[in-house]
Structure 1
Amino acid sequence: ERQLGFSVYRRVTILMLVFGTVLMLVISSWLTKPIRLLTRATKRMAAGDYGYRARQISNDELGQLTTDFNHMANVLEENINKLEEEIQAREDFVAAFAHELKTPLTAIIGYADMLRSRKLDEEKSFLSANYIYTEGKRLEAMSLRLLDIIVTKKEEVQFQLVPAASLFDYLKDMFASHTEMEFHFQYESGMVRAEANLIKSVLVNLLDNACKASEPGSPIEVRGKLTERGYRFEVKDVGVGIPREEQKNITKAFYMVDKSRSRSKNGAGLGLALCAEILLLHGSKLEIESEPGKGSCISFVLPDKGGME
């Protein structure tokens, strides 16, 4: 009986040890599961799967750690996507720039070679020289606007109080010789806080675009008025207009709605890109109302602070 009792005792002890070991393994597995899930998520993200997230299975400290990890992963994925978009934008910019350079340069080289041959009559020689000149001027304007965009992004702007009337007077003088269009100026007196030369550049670009989009003799309205948000500038034409799906892209460098029309009028798709950068410095942006075949109204508001704190 003693031997039987000892055997039973030993078996019970072994069973208890086995049960205790299994129980400890289960508890250990349950306690460490969040860590294993986080480890798996870390490895997946390290391998490039930035959309993978750790599964939260508890509300304790480890659960909070999982939440924080997933929040960090969201921010990381967002930043990576932004970097990829910026890289793509730069590649698109370089490709567009190369294309914009290639087209006029090919023509310039071709016409220059024809002139060099001395086999053209006087009229064809003049046409060739004129084409070289106009394409050269387009390249010059494109390079200057590119430079303006680069400088605008890097330089600090000095804001001053400027009479709005002085800006409109400048436009009247600039476009006085542009007799093909019918300009109408209407504006209210007021002061704007801005860098005058930069805002003049914006307005000149808007009027220049309105002229390119319009047929000769078309009216172009240039307006200015005080609003609750600040001083509002508007340039309105009755030209070709901009399709709604294109409007979000027109401030991208080298983007042109109608490439053939823009190139025929020495456009390179840089004017509105420059305007957008300048207005960003002033705490403003372009507002576009347009309908194909009926024209466009492009405006912006200089806030009372004019970009100043």
Structure 2
Amino acid sequence: METIKFRGLRSSFILYVLTTLVIAAILSALTIWGCAALQKKLLPDSDLVYLTIQRSDSDGNETTTTVPMPLNDVLKEIPSMISMEDTEGDILSGEQNVKYSVTKIENSFTALSPKRQLVYQASQIGMIALPVFFSLVGILLCGLLFYRKKLKIPISLLTSATKQIADQNLDFQISYPSADEMGALCASFEQMRQILKENNQKLWDMLEERRRLQGSVAHDLRNPIAIIQGYAQYLQLSFSGDKISREKVSSVIANILHTSYRLQRYTDSLRTISRLEELEVQIQPEHFASLSSDMREDLSLLTEEKQLKLDWDNTVVEKELNLDSKILYRILENLIGNAVRFANRKIKVQFSYCQGLLTTTVSDDGPGFPQKVLNSKDSYAYMGSDDENHLGMGLAICRVLCRKHGGQLTLSNSDQGGAVIKFVLLS
């Protein structure tokens, strides 16, 4: 039975049908043989005859005796008196006159008694009806057994799984250890469930990330809006009392214009992030040594402007990696651009590769991240106090790009206090 469990549906069905046919054929043969034996027993033996002996004495008294006997025995005992047709013979024995007559026993249904005729007819019906009955019952039992052994459990599992998916519940598992088609179907369904769960989790993470980003942006927008409102109220009150000079008006307008530029940069960054959500990742084989050399040559220009040292450490030994080089370049450009603003003397970039993951670390010797930024998951934008124009949206862009490439980005500080940003890309 364990072997049947791991057979395919087609071979199992054929095996069930053949087994049913063999059993039905054996039962039908036994039934027909039994009914035929019963009929033979009911009918008289075709070799039997009635031997009638009639005796009469000299006084005229007659006695008649009829005995069923095999024809061969009759032929042996009175060969001179018997013929194959109804014959009669006379033998004189003393004073008795003996007559012998032989009559064939009719071997037919009409010769049976009514009770035997009923039994005989029942046996004839049984010879036809019972094989048909065995075939029908065999087909029914074959179908029920095949359904119970091969279809019932996987269909129940798939029905339950479909209902749970319809109820938006993906926290379950389908397990049907069988090598047949239903086992493959259950395995495919389980794979689909896992993919759905992963996609739902990614969608939830994306929505949660967008919610945190919107909260962070709303918080950052509050300051420039409050500044513009404050300056506007100040101008309104000052003009009404003629208490403001032309120079002061010019200074306030310059501050309002400066703050409006900050708002414009915020909106530009938000549009950039929105476009990144729709970006299609283009994975292709890249010769990483050449790619690393090209990126170092380009990104070193950012550090040279600030007279910073760029340490570039590539420990990847694989010749080719499957990744989107544009996404990797853009992430590094944003992170090094951020590090340039806070580093004192140098910035270090390290690459490593293990089990399909490219890990990149960008660190500097600056003041590092504030502890509240490291502790808060909602901190997408980071603005240093010494760089008022920096919007800090670069980290948000890098997070989105890492997620699009199947990776993640984490923030930390080194033991010396500098900022450390590590991101992992699926490659």
TM range (shorter): 0.5 to 0.7
1:27 maps onto 2:159 in alignment: no
Is 1:143 the counterpart of 2:267? The answer is: yes
Match of 1:167 in 2: 302
Structure-1 residue corresponding to 2:346: 222
- Partner residue in 2 for 1:307: none
* Of 371, 395, 404, the match for 1:272: 395
Deviation at 1:105, TM superposition (A): 1.4
Which one of the candidate residues 158, 165, 172 is aligned to 1:45? 165
Deviations 1:86-141 (A, max 9, x none): 23333443344344334431441233122112259559x67966764564343244
Q: 1:206 aligns with which of 322, 335, 339?
A: 339
The whole-number CA distance in structure 2 between the counterparts of 1:155 and 1:61 is: 36
Deviation per residue, 1:32-53 (Å, 9 max, x gap): 3023432332233234233344
Matches within 5 A, 1:63-142: 63-118=183-238, 119=241, 132=256, 135-142=259-266
- Give the distance between the partners of 1:198 and 1:245, measured in 2 at CA: 20
> Structure 2 residue aligned with 1:56, among 157, 167, 176?
176
Letter aligned with residue 260 of structure 2: G
When residues 56 and 140 of structure 1 are mapped into structure 2, their CA distance, relative to the original with a 3 A threshold, is same
**Residues 50 and 73 of structure 1 are in contact (CA less than 8 Å); yes or no, is this contact kept in structure 2?**
yes
Question: In the alignment, is the contact (CA less than 8 A) between 1:242 and 1:295 conserved in 2?
Answer: no
Shift in CA distance, 120/233, structure 1 to aligned 2, threshold 3 Å: farther
Q: Is the 8 A contact 1:244 1:291 kept in 2?
A: no
Task: Report the CA distance shift for 1:263/1:104 in structure 2 as closer, same or farther (over 3 A).
Answer: farther
How far apart are 1:21 and its partner, in Å? 7.7
Contact 1:288–1:296 (CA under 8 A) maintained in structure 2: no
**CA–CA separation in structure 2 for the residues paired with 1:262 and 1:269:** 11
Q: Which amino acid aligns with 2:161?
A: A
SS in 1 for 2:364: strand
CA distance in 1, matches of 2:169, 2:237: 61
Q: Contact 2:334/2:395 (CA < 8 Å) preserved in 1?
A: no
**Aligned residue number for residue 107 of structure 2:** none
Letter in structure 1 aligned against 2:231: Y
Determine what percentage of the aligned residue pairs are the same residue: 21
Which residue number corresponds to residue 176 of structure 1?
none
The offset of 1:272, in angstroms, is 2.2
When residues 53 and 247 of structure 1 are mapped into structure 2, their CA distance, relative to the original with a 3 A threshold, is same
5+ residue gaps in structure 1? Answer: 173-184, 212-219, 302-309
Q: CA-atom RMSD, angstroms?
A: 5.5
Answer yes or no: is the 8 Å Cα contact 1:279–1:285 preserved in 2.
Answer: yes
How far apart in 1 are the matches of 2:141 and 2:404?
A: 66
TM-score, normalization by structure 2: 0.45
Report 1 or 2 for greater relative contact order, CA contacts < 8 Å, sequence distance ≥ 6: 1
**Secondary structure in 1 aligned to 2:365?**
strand
Listed as ranges, the matches of 1:279-290 within 5 Å are 288-290=411-413
Q: Aligned-pair distance for 1:246?
A: 3.4
Structure with more strand by fraction: 2
Q: Is 2:356 the counterpart of 1:237?
A: no
Partner of 1:216: none
Q: The residue matched to 1:295 in structure 2 has which SS?
A: coil
Q: Separation in 2 of the partners of 1:249 and 1:241? A: 14
What's 1:296 paired with?
418
**Aligned counterparts of 1:79 and 1:164: Cα–Cα separation in 2:** 35
Tell me, in whole angstroms, the C-alpha distance in 2 between the residues paired with 1:86 and 1:162: 34
Contact 2:348 2:364 in 1 (8 A): no
Q: Which amino acid aligns with 1:236?
A: D
Indicate the structure (1 or 2) with the bigger Cα radius of gyration.
2
TM, length-normalised to structure 1: 0.58
Write the distance in 2 (CA, Å) between the matches of 1:32 and 1:59.
Answer: 13
Contact 1:206–1:272 (8 Å) recurs in 2: no
Structure 2, unmatched stretches of 5+, are: 1-114, 282-290, 314-324, 354-359
Matched residue SS, 2:170: coil
Check the 8 A contact 1:202/1:274 in 2, yes or no. no
Distance 1:226 1:93 in 2: 28
Q: CA deviation at 1:263?
A: 11
Distance 2:329 2:208 in 1: 34
The answer (yes or no) to whether the contact 1:242–1:291 under 8 Å persists in 2 is no
